[in-house]
Amino acid sequence: MKKLVITIDGPAGAGKTTVSKALADRLQYKYIDTGALYRGVAFEAKAKGISPDDEHQLEALCNNLELRFVRNKKGVRLYSGESDISDYIRTPEMSMMASAVSARPVVRKALLGLQRKMGAEKAAVFEGRDMGTVVFPGADVKFFLTADLIIRASRRHKELEEKKLPQNLEAVEKDMARRDNNDSSREVAPLKPADDAILIDSTECSVESVIEQMMKHINEKIAATL
Ligand code: DC
C-alpha cells in the first residue's frame, strides 16, 4: 500500500496534537510534532542567553544543534544532543519564545532540511504551521484544523492545569491571540491553509468526530492510489 505524507496545520490549541497522534496510531505511521523543534531551538537559545532577535547568533546555534525525536517508555521525546528536553519546552514562556524564533529565516531554513529528512520515508503525520504550504507542498493529504479562539484557549488552559503549569484563562487567551498573530503575520512561511488543504473547524466537534472526518479523507486517498 502506498505510504502517505499527511500534514495538519493550524493555530495553537486547535487540537492538532491529539488528532495527529490518533491518526498516526491508526495508520501505524510516524507522528512528527514540528512545533517541538521550534521549541527546542527556543529552549537552547534561552539557555545560552541568545535573543530571538539575534539572527547571527541564532544561525550559529542552529548550525550546532542536534535535535531528534526518540521513542521510549515515556512516549516520543525530544532530545537536544544527549539531553531529553521534553519536560522543559511546554511552558507558556517557551511557547512565546518558539513563536519569536520561528519568525527568523535562519531558523526556518535550518529546520526545513531536518523536517524533510524526517519525512523521507513517508508514512508520517506532520503537525505544524507550514507543513502543507512550505515543508511538504506535495503532501498526499493536507488538513487545516482550526477552532474559535475562546475554545482553543480553554482547552490549553485545562492542559496547562493538568501539567501543573496553571495560568489564568484570560492570560492564556491573550498569549494565544498574540502568538497566532505573530505566526500568521510573519514574512517567511506564515500560518495559512494550503490552497489544497481540507479545512476542519473543531469548535463544535468532538475529537472523535474530527478524527473520523480526517480518516474518511485519508481512506479515500488510499483507495484512489490502489
Ligand atoms: O505547535 P506549537 O504550539 O508547539 O508551536 C510552537 C511555535 O512554533 C508556534 O507558535 C510557531 C512555531 N511553529 C512554526 O512556526 N512552524 C511550525 N511548523 C511549527 C511551529
Q: Specify the CATH number for the domain of residue 129.
A: 3.40.50.300
Would the CB of 42 count as within 6 Å of ligand 1? Answer: no
Q: How far apart are CA 44 and CA 55, in angstroms?
A: 14
pLDDT tens per residue across span 47-103: 999 999 999 999 999 999 999 999 999 989 999 999 999 999 999 999 999 999 999
Q: Can you give the pTM of this predicted structure?
A: 0.96
> Looking at residues 111-140, what average pLDDT do you find?
97
Q: Please, what is the average pLDDT of the chain?
A: 96
The domain of 21 spans 5-225
pLDDT for the residue numbered 166: 85
pLDDT for the residue numbered 165: 85
Inform me whether the pLDDT recorded for 2 exceeds 90. Answer: no
Query: 62, 189, 60: which is closest to 137 by C-alpha?
Result: 189
Ligand 1, atom nearest to 131 Cα = 18
pLDDT tens per residue across span 165-196: 888 999 999 999 999 999 999 999 999 999 99
Query: 52, 15, 3: which is closest to 202 by C-alpha?
Result: 15
Please state the φ and ψ torsions of residue 123, each to the nearest 5 degrees. 50, 50
Query: 15, 67, 19: which is closest to 6 by C-alpha?
Result: 19
Would the CB of 35 count as within 6 Å of ligand 1? Answer: yes
Inform me whether the pLDDT recorded for 115 exceeds 90. Answer: yes
Would the CB of 99 count as within 6 Å of ligand 1? Answer: yes
Q: How many structural domains comprise the chain?
A: 1
Q: How far apart are CA 67 and CA 55, in angstroms?
A: 19
Q: Whose CA is nearest to atom 15 of ligand 1?
A: 102
C-alpha cell read off for 172 = 492564556
pLDDT for the residue numbered 1: 80
Would the CB of 179 count as within 6 Å of ligand 1? Answer: yes
Q: How far apart are CA 191 and CA 187, in angstroms?
A: 10
